[in-house]
Amino acid sequence: MLAFGIRYLNGFVAATEPDDLECAEWPPHPGRIFMALAAAHFQTGADPTEREALLWLDGSTRGGEISPPQIAVPDAMQRAIVKHYVPVNDKSGPAKAVLHSLPITRDRQDRTFTRAWLQEDTAYCLWPDLDPPKAYRQALAQLCAKVTRIGHSSSLVQMWLAGKEEIVAPNWLPDETRATLRLRIAGPGTLEYLEREYNAMAVEDYANLEVATKTASNDKDRKRARNQLKERYADGQPPQQRPRLSLYHGYARAGTQPEDEAVPGSLFSPHYIALRLEREDSAYRALDLLGTLNIVKRWREALISQGNDASDRIRSLISGHSPDGKPLGDPHAAFMPQPFIGTEHAAGHLLGLGLALPEEVTRDERRELLKVIARARRLKLGPLGLWRLDAVTESSPPWNLRPDTWTAWPQGATQWSTVTPIAFDRHSKAKNQVDRQREQAAMIAKGCERTGLPAPREVIVTPVSAHLGVPPAHAFPKLKRKDGGERRHTHAILVFDEPVCGPVLIGAGRFRGYGVCRAIGFSEKDAE
């Protein structure tokens, strides 16, 4: 086993998500940890044994093996972003800043630094199946002792090789099939790429020649240095580039890997992607469940706009349409609201949004979809203001933000009730209320079968939900038809003969936030 312990000495992490410069990176990406080790290696003499150990760690000398680590991290709370004004390089001429009139001045530019406070100060990055040779282990321990920061220069750390006795259980595991996060990792060739970007030999050679042109003991040596400088570096000082790792791996929360097979479910995977909804700039403290259609519509549009470079398959999964604009016949991504419901004081406001994917989605497709989701973090909702979608990373998230709350996975449940009303595919032709409810119940049962669920034993059509905090059906806006008409909708209670797993999404609006059901009586104890 190989494990790194990382103690954040200031109690916070200062690092920026590569896809969102206003969001703190947490959990730390394994690739960032590797880059910190590489930087310590470059800046302290580039010991050959250290280099061999890093080549072994990134997989270059292990037959090109990619080994994403497990991660054990504490919960973090992002700080509000504050502007800091920092001086830039000296320049001649008057300054724009007040009270500056010297010939050489330094204007102050605003900078923002993203930070997140940590509930505890220590994290671990571990590879249970890796056992480095003794010389490499010693070299890695030596490198760990040299690492002073991970992320911004204010993100001070102490790093060491951790033993089995001190490591806590990991809460994030590499798992492309159930991934809800994508983290950068170090793969074969990473160290060589960092060496090229750091460009240490050329930079050092250029600096030595520059010094020689001015301090050589005689004119002949100074002239030779100038000629070599011009010949080798005609374009000026050799660059040192900021590295950008492009290799990502999916991570899933620990505990989503079942020991036994789950009960039957629908066409949608129970491992949907849950995101927290946070106010960024709005006059409202929360968004209401009744606004589901408009909020989901805006998120869908944001994903489509951020997926211009994605494959046709991913764009079709998001939009529900093929490249030629025709509706997909196969299942595609379904958007789900995640409101605060089910308790005595539930108010029904939205805590987050979810994206349910068809079971048939491959690991590569899920990875590409997570990339698009990471770009569409902000929702501009007009009069409702600006809102942000964040990954749910805490070890014990709120009950209504946990996927198993909405899917009853893996035990399943026999009784379900709607959270958003079920929209009907067609108008009822019945002439009285009893026949109308009977016909609507039959349409709902047919809708269950259409999504891969068994036909329920009983369907109770009701104007109100069985879940506390959910508004009555008549309060929800009607779903529009293509011809401009409105679809009727209703709440309902479904009773199955055998337990089933969700997501249970039924009706004409099942891809747009309507027809979302949740198990009745499924509590936090049932999920443990």
pLDDT at 238: 76
CA angle 53, 55, 58 (to 5 degrees): 110
Reported as type and span, the H/E element at residue 76 is strand 76-78
String of DSSP letters for 194-255: HHHHH-HHHHHHHHHHHHHHHH-SSHHHHHHHHHHHHHH-TTSSPP-PPP----EEEEEETT
Alpha helix locations (H) across 162-199? Answer: 190-198
pLDDT at 226: 82
CA angle 140, 143, 148 (to 5 degrees): 140
pLDDT at 200: 65
Q: Are 167 and 72 in contact (CB under 8 A)?
A: yes
pLDDT at 186: 94
- Residue that the structure tokens 């996060």 belong to: 181
pLDDT at 527: 47
Instruction: Report which residue type is found at 225.
Output: A
- Burial of residue 288, with CB atoms counted within 10 A of its CB: 0-12 exposed, 13-18 middle, 19 or more buried: middle
Q: How far is CA 308 from CA 29, 273, 305, 404, in A?
A: 26, 21, 6, 32
Of 465, 473, 461, whose CA–CA distance to 435 is shortest?
461
Half-sphere exposure (CA, 13 Å, Cβ side) for 118?
Answer: 23
pLDDT at 199: 75
What is the spatial distance between Cα 363 and Cα 72, in angstroms, rounded to a whole number? 23
Reported as type and span, the H/E element at residue 492 is strand 489-500
pLDDT at 528: 46
Q: Are 402 and 275 in contact (CB under 8 A)?
A: no
Q: For the beta carbon of residue 523, count every other beta carbon within 10 angstroms.
A: 11
pLDDT at 50: 96
Q: Are 343 and 469 in contact (CB under 8 A)?
A: yes
What is the spatial distance between Cα 293 and Cα 297, in angstroms, rounded to a whole number? 6
Reported as type and span, the H/E element at residue 110 is strand 108-112
Q: Long-range contacts made by residues 58-64, C-beta under 8 angstroms, separation at least 24?
A: 58/34, 58/186, 58/187, 58/188, 58/189, 58/190, 58/191, 59/186, 59/187, 59/188, 60/188, 60/189, 60/190, 60/191, 60/192, 64/188
For each of the chain's 528 residues, which pLDDT tens digit applies?
999 999 999 999 999 888 777 888 999 999 999 999 999 999 998 899 999 999 999 999 998 888 899 999 999 988 766 665 666 555 555 555 544 445 545 555 666 668 899 999 999 999 999 999 999 999 999 999 999 999 988 999 999 999 999 999 999 999 998 999 999 999 999 999 998 887 767 767 777 778 888 888 888 888 887 887 888 777 777 776 778 888 999 999 987 766 556 688 899 999 999 999 999 999 999 999 999 999 999 999 999 999 999 999 999 999 999 988 888 888 899 999 999 999 888 999 999 999 999 999 999 999 999 999 999 999 999 999 999 999 998 888 889 999 999 999 888 999 999 999 999 988 888 888 888 899 999 999 999 999 999 999 999 999 999 999 999 999 999 999 888 889 999 999 999 999 999 899 999 999 999 999 999 986 555 444
Domains of the chain from N-terminus onward: 2-88+109-195+243-250 (3.30.70), 200-232 (no CATH), 258-527 (no CATH)
Of 411, 27, 394, whose CA–CA distance to 183 is shortest?
27
Q: For the beta carbon of residue 381, count every other beta carbon within 10 angstroms.
A: 17
pLDDT at 243: 82
